[in-house]
Structure 1
């Protein structure tokens, strides 16, 4: 039997998810200001990138999990999860722009063009901007449901670019375990969508 929470329960769940999503940021700030990090820049860069990937997986998992469990209320969490994905991606980018280049846009751009793993990461971040900007109900109404859905399919481009960014970054350290794990998770989540879409066409 599907679990169907009340409106109040959903509000509590959303509040709990919101607070939980801020815990990684609070931990980063605490460890930095208390001087517990040997390499704070490396730690923050890695942590913000990791949490961007986590929230990407969480966001992509909503639809398959909803279909498998019949918990339709999970859709109400998807926007928040997607926005937290953008939030940590923005922190990841700001770390790169601020601490690596001290807001020197020309030098940043040279780095983007010179290093492939930064190039694909930058493209993925840029593609996330219109998704975050059109996440409100007002923008859905303004764009129309169909155009909004087409625009938000950019997440299917962002996902492999994010995995490629992670893969190339780890390749320099000859560490492929994590990219393979995340790549597999994302591939499975995307493959389930393709399967259901194909199955729907076949069955009419």
Structure 2
């Protein structure tokens, strides 16, 4: 196991970051192409909206899991976390644009839905949490903000909780998938609790 981790860390150090952006971006036009050509079912707009949102949630989880992988297994993927975070924002933005432009279509209805539909209000709050994170995901902001940069980027935790709640609320009836995502996010956030006794209480063993 140690040899495998060492090999993966060596590969991670040699791999440039830019392919991560490219690989994570590829599904965006592919899903859109599928929607245009009938590959997303009878309601391609809803299908596209769901796929972009689901990928955003998965990337949020991928970003959160980097720290436990490093602490518990010694697998260091920290250099890719910024790319994952930026692409998370891109998928959330794509999800939002499909909903606003292709689904709702008018600015007045967009605003009305944000105010009247709680699951949309929650989703928009999660998006707003990500905006300052995307804006400061650069070396200049890191140098300028110093220790405040890390505090600001804790908004990721709020965004993840809001995203999971948005997914649960959006689902009609009892569905296992959004609950699984919510449980994974909750476990990853509990892992970050500062006091070891509190962590042991929630995560025994």
Where on the TM-score scale, by shorter chain, does this alignment land: which range?
0.7 to 0.9
CA distance in 1, matches of 2:11, 2:58: 27
Residue 200 of structure 1 deviates from its aligned partner by: 9.6
Aligned to 1:59: 63
Aligned to 1:141: 143
CA distance in 2, matches of 1:68, 1:199: 14
Residue 64 of structure 1 deviates from its aligned partner by: 0.6
Partner-residue secondary structure (3-state), 2:48: helix
CA distance in 2, matches of 1:80, 1:16: 10
Aligned to 2:92: 89
Aligned to 1:162: 163
Q: Do the aligned partners of 2:92 and 2:127 also contact (CA within 8 Å) in 1?
A: yes
Give the count of matched residue pairs.
Answer: 192
Residue 15 of structure 1 deviates from its aligned partner by: 4.5
After superposition, residues 23-42 of structure 1 pair within 5 angstroms as: 23-37=26-40, 38-42=42-46
CA distance in 2, matches of 1:36, 1:183: 28
TM-score, reference length from structure 2: 0.86
Aligned to 1:199: 196
Q: Comparing 16-25 with 184-193, which one deviates more in the overlay?
A: 16-25
Q: Which runs of 5+ in 1 are unaligned?
A: none
Aligned to 2:201: none
Cα deviation, 1:139-170, whole Å, max 9, x if unaligned, reads 111112x1111111111111111111001001
Partner-residue secondary structure (3-state), 1:5: helix
Aligned to 1:189: 188
TM-score, reference length from structure 1: 0.86
CA distance in 2, matches of 1:8, 1:122: 36
Q: Do the aligned partners of 2:52 and 2:92 also contact (CA within 8 Å) in 1?
A: yes
Q: Which runs of 5+ in 2 are unaligned?
A: 199-205
